[in-house]
Amino acid sequence: MKKLALIMAGLLLVGGAANAQDKEAIKAAKAAQKAAESAMKKAKSTYELSIANPNYGRKETDFTKLEGARTLINEAIASEYTKNNPQTWYTAADIEHEYYKKYEAESKADESVAPMYIESSSRLLSYCVTADSLASISTMKPEEYKLNHIKYQPIGVNAAIQVLMAAQNLSNSEVEKQDELKNGAKYAKKFNQAINNSSLLKDFTNENLEDWKAYGKVFYAQSVNNINGTPENDVVEAYEALIGTKYESVAYQTLASFYREKNKAKQNEYLMKGLQFLRGKEDGKALGSNFAMMLMQNYFQDKQYDDFKKIAEIIKTDFSDSEYCINAYLYEGQMEFENGNYDKAKEVFLTANEKFPDEPKGLLMAARCAWMKANSTGQKKADMDEAISLFKQLETANPSDSDLWGEPLYILYNNTNQPKLAANYKKYYKAQ
């Protein structure tokens, strides 16, 4: 019994110590809460005593005194007891708004102040967004919330515009300036979150709003694409966010370029999406024809001839006035030529020559097709004569470019036992 009594006494001592510790913890927590709430209230009162107020003879803001308010509100923001109170963030926004106006004015005369103005804009936007978000789910009376919402929305919007402009400038930085690109991504992301997801701006209207949203997305995409080490999925996600905006074609163009050396199948996927998006759009013809040309080349190189022929046909019909149109015929003819279909290839090349008479490749390849057919049929006279006729047409059309027809005609005349005619072209024979 004595031993049991000793054990019970030990347990009581431990329990007593634990209770004492709990009491100390509760006491410390209450003190921390009181300090945080005091800091928040003092920050607000210091702010009110710092800003310009003609009624009290203050013509301008006392920033020395306001700095004290900023220190106090930062303590309240960091405290778990006041960080979820919308009043903390409203006060933070009020204080930061004074710095925002100060830096705005100073930056017009001194460019070195611009970075401070941008950072102040970024903080001000965050404070306004956070305050409104917390207030919207708090026990605040609806009429009070509405008044605050009306007050802080334009302040937040003006700050957001400065953040967007900073994102634009920084997203165009050279690749070597990685810090600037990272800041460009940071500001664009902050703007996008505010304009698309915050309660502060959910009911904001402006005739340029959709353009602003598109700008925010494209500036973010530009930045992350040029930041070294950005994960592939992040780049793809950033540009796919542009689909449905005025920059949709930019998304397809950039993603196709992004995958050019990495994954041809993915490159083709985005080229095809871009082509489908731009077909029928007059202002998209130049880029659309470029997409089609790259697709056609890829399919041809990989011998995906069914896909190749579909794209070649699109180029012939949709982009017939494009510089790439002749390539559709030349590639198609080359495909038939490589497959030994010399008559079909010749037909395609002659069509190319008919449509693009200033480009000698069509007639040149038609002549070579006739020559190859002659060789494959034992150099039948009719086939050899056709080859000679086509090379003579090439000579007539391009008299100064003997590399196209000189040597072939010498060989063909020799092979058809026409030495006198062959003699006229002997000087072009390079194997002599």
Domain assignment of residue 345, given as a range: 324-432
Final residue before a domain boundary, out of 276, 297, 319? 319
Q: Does residue 70 lie within any of the structural domains?
A: no
* Residue pair 128/159 in contact by the 8 Å Cβ criterion: yes
The whole-angstrom separation of Cα 196 and Cα 99 is: 26
Confidence of residue 4 (pLDDT cuts 50, 70, 90): low
Same domain, yes or no: 281 and 148: no
Same domain, yes or no: 209 and 89: yes
Q: Does residue 269 lie within any of the structural domains?
A: yes
Interval 54-75 mean pLDDT: 92
Final residue before a domain boundary, out of 319, 353, 370? 319
* pLDDT at residue 11 in the model: 47
* pLDDT at residue 341 in the model: 95
How many other C-beta atoms lie within 10 A of the C-beta of residue 366? 27
Q: Does residue 148 lie within any of the structural domains?
A: yes
Same domain, yes or no: 213 and 92: yes
Q: Does residue 206 lie within any of the structural domains?
A: yes
Same domain, yes or no: 348 and 371: yes
Is pLDDT at 316 greater than 60 in this prediction?
A: yes
Q: Does residue 350 lie within any of the structural domains?
A: yes
Same domain, yes or no: 309 and 344: no
* pLDDT at residue 422 in the model: 95
The whole-angstrom separation of Cα 95 and Cα 48 is: 9
Return the SS3 of 58.
strand
Interval 317-342: pLDDT, tens: 999 999 999 999 999 999 999 999 99
> How distant, in Å, are the alpha carbons of 50, 54, 96, 119, 209 from that of 59?
10, 6, 19, 26, 36
Confidence of residue 56 (pLDDT cuts 50, 70, 90): confident
Mean pLDDT rounded to a whole number for the chain: 93
Both tokens of residue 327?
A: 């390539």
Interval 108-121 mean pLDDT: 96
Same domain, yes or no: 358 and 257: no
Same domain, yes or no: 389 and 295: no
Q: Does residue 51 lie within any of the structural domains?
A: no
* pLDDT at residue 20 in the model: 62
Q: Say which amino acid occupies 48.
A: E
Final residue before a domain boundary, out of 301, 319, 337? 319
* pLDDT at residue 5 in the model: 55
Same domain, yes or no: 104 and 212: yes
Beta partners for residue 58, in sequence order: 53
* pLDDT at residue 53 in the model: 87
The whole-angstrom separation of Cα 151 and Cα 243 is: 34
b (16+ CB within 10 A) / e for 373-389: bbeeeeeeeebbebbbe
Q: Does residue 25 lie within any of the structural domains?
A: no
Same domain, yes or no: 306 and 333: no
Both tokens of residue 133?
A: 């978000």
Our count of domains for the chain comes to 3
Interval 375-401 mean pLDDT: 91
Same domain, yes or no: 292 and 177: no
Interval 204-234: pLDDT, tens: 999 999 999 999 999 999 999 999 999 999 9
Same domain, yes or no: 134 and 186: yes
Return the SS3 of 381.
helix
Q: Does residue 15 lie within any of the structural domains?
A: no
Same domain, yes or no: 222 and 102: yes
* pLDDT at residue 378 in the model: 79
